Structures are given as C-alpha cells and as structure tokens.
Amino acid sequence: MTARVLVLGGTGEARRLAAALADRPGLHVVSSLAGRIADPLLPEGEVRVGGFGGPDGLAAWLRREQVDMVVDATHPFAHRMTTSAARATAEIGVPFLVLRRPGWQAGPGDNWHWAESVPAAASLLADLGERVFSTIGRQELAAFADLDAHWFLARCVDQPEPPLPRRLEIILDRGPFTVDGERRLLRQHRIDVLVTKDSGGDMTAAKLVAARQLGLPVVVVCRPPAPDVPVVETVEEAVAWLETLVATRPHAG
C-alpha cells in the first residue's frame, strides 16, 4: 500500500527532497507551498499552493487526504508553519520530521552582531553605520520604517508593501549569489552594514564572505526556537527517515 507524504516546502531542500522521492516505490508525495511568492520555483510531482487555516485546518486536511507522514522543509524562519504542523501531527498521530539546514557560523575575520528579532536588529544599526543592506525579505521591512537617519538597500524576491523606510532602494532578485557579485554590490552602494537572518545554506552565504572581505559588520537575526520534534539537517537523512517508516509499517511487504 502506498504511503502518502506531505512535504511542507518552499526551500531548495524541499525541492531536492521531492526530486529524491519522485520515483521511490511505495511513496506518493505532495509538496505544499505557502503561496507568498508570486513566481515560486516548483518542485517535482504534485503541488498544492496556499495555507491550511492553522493547526486545526492542517489536521483536518491530513485526515481528509489520509496522509501518513509529514516533513517540514520550510524556511528556518517559517516558525508559525512549523509550530502548526507540530501541533496538527501530534493531534492526529502522524509522524513528523523537520528538515532544517544548519545555521551559519561566524569565522575568523567576521564582525557579527546577533539579534533576537528584526526589531532588535533595527535597534543595533545606530552604532554600526548609515547605509544598510537588508536581506531579511519583504515582510519585515516595517521594523526599519522609522529609521530616517539610515539609507536602505533591500533585496527581496517580490515587491514589499508599506510601511517601508523613507530612504529605500529595492532590488528584486533571488539566489544563488556569488562572492564577486555581492562584493560589487556592497561597494557600488557604499554599504556600511549588512542585516540578514540566520537562514543557513550556500545559496545566499556569499554576502557574508563579501562582508568579511570588506571588513563590514553584519547583524544576524537568530532563528526562532524549533519545537520538540525530530530534526535532521540533510535531504539524505530525511529520505532515510521516510524509508524506515515505510519499511516498518504494519502492512509493509
């Protein structure tokens, strides 16, 4: 009997997981995207787009679709989705795994300043420089809206909505980025300080290397705490977790 797997996606890891599972016997995979990006990169296989309506809505959807396993491969800062999925799967007894890439680690030559939130990051800027490069995404730029003494360069996938900083230039782009390209960008806009989230991964890490090379401070927003559930860091580990569950199902074989 085929096992139905829901992959909560939107990341490169989620797309790689869907690809890795596409031809696996005994598995039917549905990838779910939140629908917040106008032109998302779609994974292989069946895809649904849109929210579930909180943990109760997700639990009802899982029951209705007879889902056997859930892998949360959302962005490390998609805290609400992860929390909802943990509650919904616990409520109905569906195995749940979080696939989360490792966070970034400061190295020699880095000048990092950790912040517990985006508003906390905004409060650090007064002592670090006037010209700010923000890569926190479009949804939380409001935290900088009152910082009229600063000039912001914000890179987003989609156009942000007000409230926004008064002195703002927007770049619409998505990774992967190169160190050379990021260094040119920082120099071209005479950036004093970079603000980013601890997203981890290689696709957007080039900006950190470029900032180090140019001696620029970096404000790094900490990840939200993960729920008390199984967590793996690689697609291969997630595939192994799923295969073990399939092999040990009572009706397997």
Same structural domain for residues 119 and 213?
yes
The reported pLDDT for the residue numbered 38 is 75
User: Residue 253 pLDDT > 50, yes or no?
Assistant: no
* 3-class secondary-structure state, position 235: helix
Same structural domain for residues 31 and 56?
yes
* Residue 38 counted as domain residue: yes
Q: What DSSP designation does 224 have?
A: P
pLDDT tens per residue, range 66-116: 999 999 999 999 999 999 999 999 999 999 999 999 999 999 999 999 999
pLDDT tens per residue, range 131-145: 999 999 999 999 999
Same structural domain for residues 119 and 203?
yes
* Residue 182 counted as domain residue: yes
Same structural domain for residues 216 and 234?
no
| CATH code of the domain in which 39 resides | 3.40.1210.10
Angstrom distance (rounded) from CA 249 to CA 199: 34
Same structural domain for residues 126 and 192?
yes
* Residue 106 counted as domain residue: no
Same structural domain for residues 214 and 233?
no
The tokens for 195 are 């603000």
User: Residue 237 pLDDT > 90, yes or no?
Assistant: yes
Same structural domain for residues 217 and 234?
no
The reported pLDDT for the residue numbered 251 is 61
Same structural domain for residues 157 and 229?
no
pLDDT tens per residue, range 151-161: 999 999 999 99
| CATH code of the domain in which 174 resides | 3.40.50.720
Of 80, 76, 99, 100, give the one whose Cα is nearest residue 88: 80
Same structural domain for residues 206 and 117?
yes
Same structural domain for residues 197 and 117?
yes
Task: Give me the domain span that covers residue 172.
Answer: 112-221
The tokens for 183 are 């260094």
The reported pLDDT for the residue numbered 252 is 44
Same structural domain for residues 129 and 178?
yes
Q: Distance from CA of residue 129 to its chain's centroid?
A: 27
Q: What DSSP designation does 193 have?
A: E
* 3-class secondary-structure state, position 54: helix
**What average pLDDT does this structure show over 160-187?**
96
Split into its structural domains, the chain has a count of 2
* 3-class secondary-structure state, position 13: helix
* Residue 253 counted as domain residue: no
* Residue 37 counted as domain residue: yes
pLDDT tens per residue, range 176-218: 999 999 999 999 999 999 999 999 998 899 999 999 999 999 9
* 3-class secondary-structure state, position 15: helix
Same structural domain for residues 185 and 240?
no
pLDDT tens per residue, range 13-47: 999 999 999 988 889 999 999 887 778 889 999 99
* Residue 107 counted as domain residue: no
Three state DSSP letters for 84-122: HHHHHHHHHCCCEEEECCCCCCCCCCCCEEEECCHHHHH
* Residue 74 counted as domain residue: yes
The tokens for 124 are 């650090």
